[in-house]
Structure 1
Amino acid sequence: MPIDATLPYDPDNIFAKILRGEIPSKTVYEDEHALAFHDVNPQAPQHILVIPKGAYVSWDDFSAHAPDAEIAGFVRAVGTVARNAGMVAEGYRLLANIGQQSGQEVPHLHVHIFAGKPLGPMLVR
């Protein structure tokens, strides 16, 4: 069920549980600001999720409340993950759903990185 990006953070969301080690993930990258892991239901041959380690519901929440070092670290982590996965040469797509109308399902900011095939247009025309 999509969530409202203005809702308070839910510490029992699935990504919070992954960060606490309560749910396993196939980790591909981790540093002080971010964790990246393979999506359990991939929508492309390569589908990696990158999440900040802080408790942020959305990009709006993150950009308004995270310290500058955390924002920079998270953005760098997304780029590092794509580079390390070999996605740069062929190209990749970043997607962050924010709020109910976008289809955000987990109330923890996350960026999807898709690659490995031609992805087509972003939205149906």
Structure 2
Amino acid sequence: MQRVAYDRNNIFGKIIRGEAPSVVVYQDDDVLSFMDVFPQAPGHTLVIAKRSQAITLLEIEPELLQKLIAATQRIAQAVDRALNPDGIMLMQLSGAAAGMTVGHLHFHIIPRWDGKAIKGHAHGQMADLAELKDQAARIAAQL
């Protein structure tokens, strides 16, 4: 896989620094979780490491990966309790060829319901902010 330099001005870097808005679900010293503004399904949540400049799963520091994956599991459990989907899709894309659109390691938690198609990755219209805030509050209440 081709390695590229980390761009600290990517949108997730700006969100971590408070330079770009987000609808936060959870955060601690190491992890930030927020709603995807281009959700593939209602409740589509992102989880990122705050202190790493890893772009892909292949680059992240193992001790931060442990914290990131534990938080991803915890948030996925909260998504499950809050939204009662039929399943949950966990997605991590490493590299542009894999479909990665933001150069900062992140996990997608995407609730799935039987018979309901999801939108394409990074396609479609921006979500309604009020709906995102409602979903984030429901998920956060289950943490």
TM range (shorter): 0.7 to 0.9
1:71 aligns with 2:65: yes
Cα shift readout 1:64-117 (whole Å, capped 9, x = no counterpart): xx142x221111100111112225873201111111211111110011110042
1:39 aligns with 2:28: no
* Greater relative contact order (CA < 8 Å, ≥ 6 in sequence): 1
Cα shift readout 1:14-55 (whole Å, capped 9, x = no counterpart): 000000000110000112221000000111122001111121
Identity %: 36
Q: TM-score, normalised by structure 2?
A: 0.72
Per the alignment, residue 113 of structure 1 pairs with: 109
Letter in 1 for 2:74: T
CA contact (8 A) 2:79 2:111 kept: no
**Structure 2 counterpart of 1:60, from 45, 58, 65:** 58
**Structure 2 counterpart of 1:17, from 14, 20, 32:** 14
Q: TM-score, normalised by structure 1?
A: 0.81
CA distance in 2, matches of 1:85, 1:5: 34
Taking a change above 3 Å as real, the CA distance of residues 5 and 112 of structure 1, as seen in their structure-2 partners, is: farther
User: What RMSD, in angstroms, separates the aligned Cα atoms of the two structures?
Assistant: 2.0
**Structure 2 counterpart of 1:29, from 22, 26, 34:** 26
CA contact (8 A) 2:76 2:109 kept: yes
CA contact (8 A) 2:85 2:111 kept: no
Per the alignment, residue 97 of structure 1 pairs with: 93
CA contact (8 A) 1:13 1:106 kept: yes
CA distance in 1, matches of 2:75, 2:13: 20
1:5, distance to aligned residue in structure 2 (A)? 5.5
CA contact (8 A) 2:87 2:113 kept: no
4+ runs of 1 displaced by more than 4 Å?
none
